């Protein structure tokens, strides 16, 4: 039970990262390789605010969210927009990787190389569920992630803004003909992804410790989850994230802990080989879907 909740809790953060990566890739077609660094920055900034500036958890988180939103917008303006036509230009692969490295090194200079203890929500209070001791923080991780997922899905499905996001994702230039400013929609998606990144970073930091290496230790799992679930698919992001988290939690029983981290990537590779568009593309999930004609 403890392992199960632990797996789901970590998985929910992977899901949040996959979700944010999907927000950006669905409207622009690019994969934000610097996303993991923004997650790390989210964690580091909220740690800094709490420990150095003495803020409590929530205000610190809001500062981190604001910083991450700004980071993502700056990244879009400098690393993506300047390149022009993204269909013909894959320069963003390099510029975003570069941004990631810059952010990591800034974090290392500002916050040091030492992993820092990060306070839990509710002061690390435990509750007993079915005889197992479970940290309230872990339950909150899952709850917050699911709430964000549901809210995002509702916005996308039901609101004027959501319709516009899907329209821009599907046909950017036709969306312009409707009077939608594609640019503004894309920028909003980058901003949302930044906010979600900060939340994810701040939630998982107590478990992993806050450190500039989070980019690789945690961030890459977000990409694995995104690939598992299929890019830009909300449900898929959560399925991918949870699967990844659970496998990691239980795999230790079978393999030495040292190769735990490589397992997720082995799974990712297997999924890519058999289901290149992610788990959600399996026939099992698409039984009743009529083939929509794409013109």
Partner 1 sequence: MLKVENLTIAYGKTEVVHHVSFDVKKGSVVTIAGANGAGKSTILNTIVGLHRSKEGRILYKGEDITRTAPDKLVSKGIRLVPEGRQIFAEHTVEENMLLGAYVEKDAKKIRDRMDQMYDRFPRIKERRRQIAGTLSGGEQQMLAIARALMTAPDLLILDEPSLGLAPIIVKDVFKLLTEIKQTGVTILLVEQMVDNALSISDYAYVLETGKIVFSGTRDEVKNSDDIVKAYLGNV
Sequence-ordered alpha helix ranges (H) in 52-135: 57-75, 92-111
Q: Which stretch binds partner 1 (CB under 8 A): 215-223, 230-238, 239-247, 287-295?
A: 287-295
Cα–Cα dist 13/198, whole Å = 11
Q: Which stretch binds partner 1 (CB under 8 A): 14-22, 91-99, 171-179, 249-257?
A: 171-179
Among 173, 253, 284, 288, which residue sits at the site for partner 1 (rule: CB under 8 A)?
173
Nearest approach in angstroms of CB 176 to partner 1 is 4
Closest C-alpha among 244, 281, 242 to residue 266: 244
Nearest approach in angstroms of CB 271 to partner 1 is 24
x/- binding map, residues 178-207, to partner 1, per CB under 8 A?
xxxx--------------------------
Q: Which is nearer to partner 1, 171 or 260 (CB)?
A: 171
Binding of partner 1 by 287 (CB under 8 A): no
Binding of partner 1 by 167 (CB under 8 A): yes
Cα–Cα dist 76/72, whole Å = 6
Dihedral of the alpha carbons of 265, 267, 269, 272, in degrees to the nearest 10: -130
Closest C-alpha among 233, 236, 194 to residue 35: 194
Binding of partner 1 by 294 (CB under 8 A): yes
Cα–Cα dist 80/90, whole Å = 10
Binding of partner 1 by 170 (CB under 8 A): yes
Query: Quick check: 36 and 223 in contact, CB under 8 A?
Result: yes
Nearest approach in angstroms of CB 233 to partner 1 is 12
Q: Among residue numbers 205 through 264, which ones bind partner 1 (CB under 8 A)?
A: none
Cα–Cα dist 52/196, whole Å = 23
> Which residue ranges make up the site for partner 1 (CB under 8 A)?
160, 163-164, 166-167, 170-171, 173-181, 290, 292-295
């Amino acid at each position: 039970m403890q392992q199960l909740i632990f797996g789901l809790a970590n998985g929910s953060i992977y899901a949040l990262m996959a979700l944010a990566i999907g927000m950006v890739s669905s409207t622009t077609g690019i994969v934000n390789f610097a996303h993991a660094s923004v997650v790390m920055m989210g964690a580091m900034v909220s740690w800094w605010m709490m420990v150095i500036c003495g803020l409590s958890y929530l205000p610190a988180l809001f500062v981190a969210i604001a910083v991450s939103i700004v980071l993502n917008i700056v990244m879009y303006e400098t690393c993506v927009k300047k390149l022009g036509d993204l269909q013909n230009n894959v320069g963003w692969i390099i510029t975003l990787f570069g941004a990631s490295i810059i952010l990591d090194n800034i974090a290392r200079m500002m916050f040091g190389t030492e992993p820092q203890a990060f306070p839990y929500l509710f002061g690390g209070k435990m509750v007993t569920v079915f005889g197992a001791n479970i940290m309230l923080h872990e339950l909150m991780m899952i709850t917050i992630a699911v709430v964000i997922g549901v809210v995002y899905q509702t916005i996308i499905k039901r609101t004027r803004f959501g319709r516009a996001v899907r329209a821009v994702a599907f046909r950017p230039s036709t969306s312009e003909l409707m009077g939608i400013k594609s640019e503004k929609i894309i920028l909003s998606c980058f901003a949302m992804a930044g906010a979600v990144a900060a939340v994810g970073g701040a939630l998982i930091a107590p478990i992993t410790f806050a450190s500039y290496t989070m980019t690789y230790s945690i961030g890459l799992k977000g990409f694995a989850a995104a690939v598992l679930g299929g890019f830009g698919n909300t449900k898929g992001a959560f399925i991918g994230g949870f699967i990844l988290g659970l496998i990691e939690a239980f795999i230790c029983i079978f393999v030495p802990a040292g190769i735990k981290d490589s397992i997720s990537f082995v799974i990712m590779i297997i999924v890519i080989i058999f289901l290149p568009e992610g788990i959600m593309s399996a026939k099992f999930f698409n039984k009743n879907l009529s083939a929509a004609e794409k013109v």
